[in-house]
Amino acid sequence: MANDFGEVQVFATEARRKTLSVEVHPTGQVVLRAPLGCSDDRIRAVLAKRERWIAEQRAFFQRFEPRTPQRAWVIGESHLHLGKRYKLRCEQGMEEGVCLHVNDLVVLLNPGQEIAPARVEALVLRWRHEEAKVVLAQQLKQCLQHYRFSGFAAPHLRVQLLIKRWGSLSPQGTMTLHSGLVQAPIACIDYVIYHELCHLVHANHSSEFFELLSEVCPQWMARKQLLEATVR
């Protein structure tokens, strides 16, 4: 359906649904979920009523436009760490490594070594993985202190590079988290951890699951949207 917001995706859900809901995705796309048989007039009325809210949501996401692209591994390119941007800088050092200095992500290369993007990428990803193991372990320990998870054994944490998800919790109690999460603000990291911890109580994504998630992390939706808008 086209209107003042551009093309709006409308999904007709089960007949027992009585209300309409409007979502704004990080891309700016507007999605409306409506009961079966809902009239176009009612849909347009809801969109008109939510016009200001839709504009505010789009403005929020535009703060991060263009959507964080694949970063280039060249001097001067910016890279995220815990929600802050650092400019990539390469220097010669006694041994290879990576560190943060003020506003720079410093990659140390062996004396006389050519600045090859592939080598810079490998060093940064290795450093990021080690940073992620420390940060994610700290945040998991902190999130586990919420009283709703008392009595549960602490999951075994595994950190690895994931492609299509932020994390998972196995039936055996292993929590796997994406090493790239260390690029995100701590609040976004906590959201992912809380999401997985809620699976200790509810193995599926039932309404009870989301009720628990909303209890332990009331701002989970905003954190999820920020995470999806800023980290690849």
pTM listed for this prediction? 0.69
CA neighbours closer than 13 Å in the CB half-sphere of residue 213? 25
CB count, 10 Å around CB of 133? 17
Q: Which residues have CB under 8 Å from 12's CB, separation 6+?
A: 34, 35, 36, 37, 38
The Cα diameter of the chain in Å comes to 70
DSSP bridge partners of 109: 92
Tens of pLDDT, residue by residue over 50-96, are: 888 888 877 776 665 545 555 677 888 889 999 999 999 998 878 89
Neighbours of 128 (CB within 10 A): 21
User: Who wins on pLDDT, 121 or 12?
Assistant: 121
Percent of the chain with pLDDT over 70: 86
Across 93-119, average pLDDT: 88
d(CA 177, CA 214): 21
The verdict on whether omega for the bond into residue 185 sits within 30 degrees of 0, i.e. cis, is no
Cα–Cα separations (whole angstroms), residue 86 to 80, 103, 132: 6, 5, 17
All structural domains of the chain: 2-62 (no CATH), 78-127 (no CATH), 135-230 (3.30.2010.10)
d(CA 191, CA 224): 7
Q: Which two tokens stand for residue 213?
A: 């998630």
Q: Where do the H-state alpha helices sit in 1-67?
A: 40-49, 51-62
